[in-house]
Chains A and B, each alone.
Chain A
Amino acid sequence: MSVAHAVAHGVFGRACLYVMDKAMAPHAHREGHLIFHIHGPQAEVVVDGRPFPLSPGQAVAISPWQPHYYRPLTSRDNVLVLVLYIRPGWFVHASRQASEILRFGRVGVDVTDRLARLVSDTGHLLGAHGGTDGGFEDRLSALTQACFDQTWQWTAEGQQFIGQDRALRDFRIRRALRLLDETLGEPIDLARLSRAAGLSRPHFFKLFREQIGLPPNIYFNALRMERAIERLALGKETVADIGLDLGFSTPASFSRFFIANGVVPPSTYRRSVMAHATQ
């Protein structure tokens, strides 16, 4: 089973050190996402259906709402990774840069000496102090900025822009998004959702994919993960209650869902966040 070594929550979003041992389900989230290989054999991350290597020299940058999942290449050894979930709003303030909010220019990040130093410092501060050390946020900011800048640098190999021209969102899709948000605790009912949007099911699916860039069920899962993470970090309710509220009939099904979308079981995740929060 995958293990969380350390998890830090903050204004920047989340930073996690995970030991990965199995493939995840395709998923997406509203944060920008950076995944760095720290130790173990090479693995890969499939982004928009295309595999990208995750190795000591290659990291992966995923823009908000880009569907992706982790996939090991060998089943023998575990891989230690540093995973950042960066809030786009924080990034704009931290960088004060006038540019597209945390949309990476391309997925593959070349881990240069400078980046490797920043990754190692960030991972070390996270592992040793759970991100509570004063320099952690500065380091995280420098690392995110460096990766962001690099993904926009031109290379002869190309893969220039992704998703720079984002279409205006259709009002029917906006209505569906609102409904999804309001009915998080219920099983997803696509027929009802299409009806509420005033579209036929195939048309609704097509339009949703076009405008959001991923299918409605993956979007719905992202909302459930967000809510679950938020409530787990607060530490007030039991894990079982959170699962039930989010529409999972048993703790085991909630746990399976959480592992597939977020690496470790919900109880482990909570322990990792709490470990440093209470110190």
Chain B
Amino acid sequence: MTLIGYLTRTQFADGAIDDALPEEASRLGKALVLIDPEPGAAETMARVADALPRVRLASFCVDDGAPRRSDVAQVLGALDRAEASTIIAIGGPGAIGQARLAAAAAGRRGTDCAVIAVPVSLFDLGLGRQVRLRDGEPVTCPRPDRVIADPTALAHAPPRRLAAAGMEILVHAIEAYASPSYNPPADGLALEAVRRLARWLPVAVETPGHAEARRETLAGALTAGLALEKAVGGVDALAHPLEDALAGQALPGELHTPVLAAFVGFNARAVGERYGALSQTFGPTGGPLGLDARLAAFARTLGLPATLRETATDPSRFAGVAERAADDPAALANPRLLTPGDCRRILEAAW
């Protein structure tokens, strides 16, 4: 038996913040706006306030990066002070993850809290099954009640940052498709997400004002987010400790491609034919290139590193990163069992 649910209401359009958000939220008396420092979040907050003139908005800022369990009490405190029962989360995985976490905690204390997500970058738009935390185990949280997916909100994203973030969600879509857990609808969505991102992300990065490319990449992220009903694999287990070791010298998502390319060889026997099918979604090729080679070539067209050697990564730290990675909950989502020794070999292959 299989439990499958795609249950979130999403408004997707250029201008959805101005046109659809009032429809979803204008009857609220009060709301708490949760915002992170993602580029474009402040401009989007001003648009949200203009779209909801009769809603009394309080605001609360969270850090960049993954949400923290230890911030939940403060967010709930702000929600109580605002006398609101809705959080409008504006930004990236930080604000939207934190809002989901707070809503889950509010549910546990017996108060309802709705979440309206207004993403301004490329990620799973809050649709993934779990929220990855900076302090502790990932938590399964309810999804946002509404997602206002407005491609024009991506206009302020610096191209390189957009490329890295797009690559991270693309890597997750690839992992979702390659994951052995049984969920055919999610497989279809994952493959479509890869196809769309592979086609349009380079255009959106190359030509920042290109409306169609922006729209298609956000549609790709949305589709990938829906596919994350299926588990993502082990790339997060390695990429996040590597990012932490670089302490801000790498853009979020930048290290995912080299790590995934190295995973392809390691997982090949566990994944079977699915890597081949994924390779095809990158379009026709002159020769029989494997998925790892296609990924590396794709990263280069985006101006992103294809190996860890091209980043500020210090290989003398591989042993410590490998230990942390094998112990990371994300390691269990990998199609093949991951030991610290395996992680070390993958890092060396990614160098």
Contact = CB atoms under 8 A, between A and B. Distances in A.
A96 B332 contact: no
Interface residues of A, number: 22
A133 interface: no
Interface in A92-151: 92, 94-101, 110, 112-114, 142, 146, 149-150
B181 A152 contact: yes
Interface residue SS majority, chain A:
mixed
Contacts of A96: 3, 129, 140
A3 B2 CA distance: 38
Contacts of B337: 110, 150, 153-155
Interface residue SS majority, chain B:
loop
Contact of A146 (B1, B2, B326, B332): B332
B336 interface: yes
B27 interface: no
Interface residues of B, number: 29
B4 A152 contact: no
B180 interface: yes
B193 interface: no
A110 B5 CA distance: 31
Given A150-B332, A154-B180, A154-B335, A95 B4 contact: no
Nearest to B183: A98
A112 B327 contact: yes
Interface string B327-339: 1010011111110
A112 B182 contact: no
A101 B336 contact: no
A9 to B, nearest CB: 21
Contacts of A114: 327, 329
A99 B326 contact: no
A191 to B, nearest CB: 34
B2 A154 contact: no
B238 interface: no
Contacts of B5: 98
B327 A152 contact: no
Nearest to A153: B337
A92 B4 CA distance: 11
Q: Which of A97, A110, A155 has the most CB of B within 10 A?
A: A97
Nearest to A134: B108
A179 to B, nearest CB: 25
Nearest to A154: B270
B140 A95 contact: yes
A152 B230 contact: no
Contacts of A152: 180-181
Nearest to B335: A154
Nearest to A157: B337
A120 to B, nearest CB: 14
Contacts of A110: 337
B339 to A, nearest CB: 8
B329 to A, nearest CB: 7
B188 to A, nearest CB: 13
Given A97-B231, A98-B3, A154-B180, A149 B129 contact: no
Contacts of A97: 3, 129, 181, 231
Given A113-B327, A153-B337, A154-B270, A99 B182 contact: yes
Contacts of B224: none
A152 to B, nearest CB: 6
A95 B267 CA distance: 24
B90 to A, nearest CB: 26
Nearest to B142: A96
B137 interface: yes
Contacts of B267: 154
B3 A92 contact: yes
Contacts of A149: 231, 332-333
A217 B287 CA distance: 61
Interface in A219-257: none
Nearest to A115: B332
Interface of B: 1-5, 129, 137, 140, 180-183, 186, 229-231, 267, 269-270, 326-327, 329, 332-338
Interface of A: 92, 94-101, 110, 112-114, 142, 146, 149-150, 152-156
14 contacts: A96-B3, A98-B5, A98-B181, A98-B229, A98-B230, A99-B183, A100-B1, A100-B2, A100-B182, A113-B327, A153-B336, A154-B335, A155-B337, A156-B269
Given A98-B3, A154-B180, 11 more contacts: A98-B230, A100-B1, A114-B329, A142-B137, A146-B332, A149-B333, A153-B270, A153-B336, A153-B337, A154-B269, A154-B336
